[in-house]
Structure 1
Amino acid sequence: MALETEAEAGSVTGGALAGLKVLDIATFVAAPFCGTILADFGADVIKIEQPKTGDSLRQFGTVTECGDSLVWLSESRNKKTVTLDLRQPAGADMFRRLVAQSDVVLENFRPGTLERWGLGFDALSEINPRLIMLRISAYGQTGPKREEPGFARIAHAFAGLSWLAGERDGPPVVPGSTSMADYISGMWGAIGVLTAVQARIVSGRGQFIDIGLYESVFRLLDEIAPAYAKYGSVRERMGADTVNVVPHSHYRTASGEWVALACTNDKMFERLAQVMGRRELVERFPTSAVRVEHRDEVNAIVADWVGGCTLRDVLERTREGGVPCAQIYSIREIFEDPQYEARGNLLRVDDPRVGELVVPAPVPRMSATPAQFRHAGRALGADNHEVYSTYLGLSDDELRSLAETGVI
């Protein structure tokens, strides 16, 4: 399903963020994903990569026949791609000239790296006082660990999420995607950039946004901080269960599939008891507190009921009874599900280098200014001529010379 055209949606020409110029000098996923979000909604994002080698994301994951990975094709979509060596004086000078014309810079080098190159925020804001810089690093720009390296897996561990992932008596496991902290940080980054753009309307000045990968995850861990501070409680791994409510877990059907079932309050449990034909359970376990106290017993009752039904029976009965329940999907079921089809969550596009691609559709869904797909992640340096001739006025001879010397 293709995204709506501008005419169909009555959208702002070019997208809601048209006219916002972004320089993406980051690598892998975290800060670049912020650029992807902005680009989906019309920002002019220029992806700057190291000459010859490019961003390591090009080789991360499944590499396609064009030499770039599926991750690159999906997550670098809608960006112009240029090469530029920021460590060479000529490259740094070209970057400064681009900064003078830009609104946002996205970076995720170790703290202090850009400063050593003379390209830190203070230096760049002298060139462009309206500049907004997103800075994502493992531990942020300050603190005793600021210079240490880190990836999403490290962030999950340091933020306390990995401690919670796994079975009660088992080791900590990967909490879903190994890149989750990167994607979450990119989302926080997009919020920060748009907040800074709004603030600039009032102040006339830019600012920098400082995000540590671990902070992006820690901020989402509900009550673990106040619970420890007030009561000294340390939440342990609980497998599929949830700390404050029961039944709120995963259960296996008679036909072998797994379902997720959520009873977050007493009303939902009353509905579930009705669906199960066990009204007496409401009197035995009337409140969340009582059900949590008898967690194993309640879970066993629900597991026994689900285990005696086929997947179809469980889904039909819970749907009719108003109980939140869903099959636990693999990507195969996602591709077969009519809800995904109806919402256009799987975006089918044609790429001149690899042919048909299916990528996750942009989020959020906007009624008047929807996201637009223009192209998948492009080849290394594909837009060198357009960007450098248009924005910097460089001639073909100058571009050839810069390429020969490894500046671009």
Structure 2
Amino acid sequence: MSGPLTGIRVLELGQLIAAPFATRLMAEFGAEVIKVEAPGEGDPLRKWRKMHEGTSLWWYLQSRNKKSIAVNLKSPDGLAIVRQLAQSADVVVENFRPGGLEKLGLGWDALSALNPNLVMVRISGYGQTGPYRDRPGFGAIGESMGGIRFTTGDPSTPPARVGVSIGDTLASLHGVIGALMALLRVKTGQGAGQVVDVSLVESVFNVMESLVPEYDLLGEVRTRTGGALPGITPSNTYPSQDGGFVVIAGNSDPIFRRLMKAIGRPDLAEDPSLHDNEGRSRQAAMLDAVLADWTRGRTVTDALAVLDAAEVPAGRIYSVADIVADPHYNARDMILEADLPGDTRVKMPGIVPKLSETPGGVRWQGPALGAHTDSVLSELGFDEAGIASLRQKGAVA
């Protein structure tokens, strides 16, 4: 398998979610990702959530296509190996707390002196500068301080979290985007390498739409509104006859008119006060009540049939069981099968995005700890005796 990042070497000095998810995306599109793990336990993600034969199922997904080398960063020889790898790397991705790599002699100044074209993606809670830089920060804190939790949930309950580590993955995506932009600069001869400074807080904040100007100019503090999307009407979640829910996004002007006619309310479709989003938003409560009355009289399937026929964007809320069984997911190869130890087959998510000429793919699942230590060291020029010596000194495992 090759991909658009074939020939790009990425050195991962990270663990858990943010840095490893970024490198997973690069590995899926052909980059050679060398993941440095501590001997013994390795990345803590290996033991997170649900397990298969002692290894996390999440691990097999998060680390697919990566090479694992077990290197002791407390050993001078181990640190020398990382420096040597950085010399031949195009990208280093790390999520140490700011200053952590500098204490090891692996900071930006040290590594860029060895490799001026190096791109270094640094993912942290608050960024590499500023008064909060030294604070520890996980995705949950990024979500809280970035503004998304204040706007998530029902107004009658405390702020809710999204059901996945969205703060970490948003930071990962910003890290990959930054890495590719910085790589383009290097590969097209426009300049040398640089630091891509990614903050968990800022990555969440970056997707918060018009939150700031609404507050600054209008004094509006956007807060929790349940399933509704404030100021975009109608767009909400409505109950059905069979206990499920129907999500309806009828918020463009022509779609709104089609929606009202489909539910038997042509009077609202032609009402001049509802002809634009501003007018509809002033009467959002009334429109939500009308739609809820209509959906309550139908099953989810029946309601969606009417809305699909009217070309109104609508859908049911999927569980993982719905996703795995869905024909559209399967037709687009979004549900793949993988081999795990013990002759076990398991379904895994497919590759995103879909590239027509150089698609991504899966070569192997997350490897055993240190599975590639010897082969990577051999590529660096170590012979069997040299590798045995490093192992004996505790520099690698």
After superposition, what is the alpha-carbon deviation per residue over 1:103-147, rounded to whole angstroms, capped at 9, x for unaligned?
111100000111111110111111111111100000000000001
Quick one: which of 131, 136, 144 aligns to 2:118?
Answer: 131
Post-superposition shift, 1:282? 2.2
Quick one: which of 299, 305, 309 aligns to 1:310?
Answer: 299
Superposed counterparts of 1:324-339, under 5 Å: 324-339=313-328
Partner of 1:194: 180
Partner of 2:281: 292
Conserved 8 A contact 1:139-1:145 = yes
Conserved 8 A contact 1:161-1:175 = no
Post-superposition shift, 1:407? 1.2
Partner of 1:3: none
**Matching residue's letter, 1:81:** S
Post-superposition shift, 1:338? 0.9
Post-superposition shift, 1:368? 0.3
Q: Considering Cα pairs closer than 8 Å and 6+ residues apart, tell me whether 1 or 2 has the greater RCO.
A: 1
After superposition, what is the alpha-carbon deviation per residue over 1:6-63, rounded to whole angstroms, capped at 9, x for unaligned?
6xxxxxxx22111101110111111111111111011110011001120111111112
Partner of 1:44: 32
**Matching residue's letter, 2:361:** Q
Conserved 8 A contact 1:159-1:218 = yes
Tell me which moved more, 314-323 or 179-188: 179-188
Cα 1:401–1:39 shift into 2, 3 Å: same
Conserved 8 A contact 1:276-1:305 = yes
Conserved 8 A contact 2:261-2:269 = no
Partner of 2:371: 382
Distance in 1 between residues matched to 2:359 and 2:65, nearest whole Å: 14
Distance in 2 between residues matched to 1:395 and 1:68, nearest whole Å: 31
Distance in 2 between residues matched to 1:124 and 1:131, nearest whole Å: 8
| Residue 347 of structure 2 is aligned to residue 358 of structure 1 | yes
Distance in 2 between residues matched to 1:206 and 1:369, nearest whole Å: 25
Superposed counterparts of 1:88-103, under 5 Å: 88-103=75-90
Quick one: which of 252, 259, 265 aligns to 2:239?
Answer: 252
- TM-score normalised per structure 1: 0.94
Which secondary structure does the structure 2 equivalent of 1:226 belong to?
helix
**Matching residue's letter, 2:23:** G
Partner of 1:112: 99
Question: How well do the aligned residues superpose, as a CA RMSD in angstroms?
Answer: 1.3
Conserved 8 A contact 1:245-1:263 = no
**Matching residue's letter, 1:405:** K
| Residue 330 of structure 2 is aligned to residue 341 of structure 1 | yes
| Residue 23 of structure 2 is aligned to residue 35 of structure 1 | yes
Post-superposition shift, 1:274? 0.9
After superposition, what is the alpha-carbon deviation per residue over 1:336-373, rounded to whole angstroms, capped at 9, x for unaligned?
11111111111112234562121111111000000021
Identity %: 40
Which secondary structure does the structure 1 equivalent of 2:120 belong to?
strand
| Residue 264 of structure 2 is aligned to residue 277 of structure 1 | yes
Distance in 2 between residues matched to 1:354 and 1:295, nearest whole Å: 55
Distance in 2 between residues matched to 1:405 and 1:116, nearest whole Å: 22
Quick one: which of 293, 301, 317 aligns to 2:290?
Answer: 301
Unaligned runs of 5+ in 1: 1-5, 7-13
Post-superposition shift, 1:79? 0.3
Question: Number of residue pairs matched?
Answer: 393
Partner of 1:161: 148
Conserved 8 A contact 1:64-1:354 = no
Partner of 2:108: 121
Distance in 1 between residues matched to 2:342 and 2:34, nearest whole Å: 20
After superposition, what is the alpha-carbon deviation per residue over 1:229-276, rounded to whole angstroms, capped at 9, x for unaligned?
211210111000111122210011111111111012221110111110
Partner of 2:5: 17
Partner of 2:395: 407
Distance in 2 between residues matched to 1:307 and 1:25, nearest whole Å: 52
Which secondary structure does the structure 2 equivalent of 1:115 belong to?
helix
Quick one: which of 161, 164, 167 aligns to 1:174?
Answer: 161
Post-superposition shift, 1:299? 0.7
Post-superposition shift, 1:278? 0.9
Which secondary structure does the structure 1 equivalent of 2:51 belong to?
coil
Post-superposition shift, 1:288? 2.1
Conserved 8 A contact 2:14-2:20 = yes
Distance in 2 between residues matched to 1:288 and 1:20, nearest whole Å: 47
Which secondary structure does the structure 2 equivalent of 1:202 belong to?
coil
Distance in 2 between residues matched to 1:336 and 1:373, nearest whole Å: 21
Which secondary structure does the structure 2 equivalent of 1:100 belong to?
helix
Distance in 2 between residues matched to 1:264 and 1:215, nearest whole Å: 29
Partner of 1:70: 57
Distance in 1 between residues matched to 2:117 and 2:342, nearest whole Å: 38
Partner of 1:11: none
Partner of 1:224: 211
Cα 1:227–1:114 shift into 2, 3 Å: same
Which secondary structure does the structure 1 equivalent of 2:55 belong to?
coil
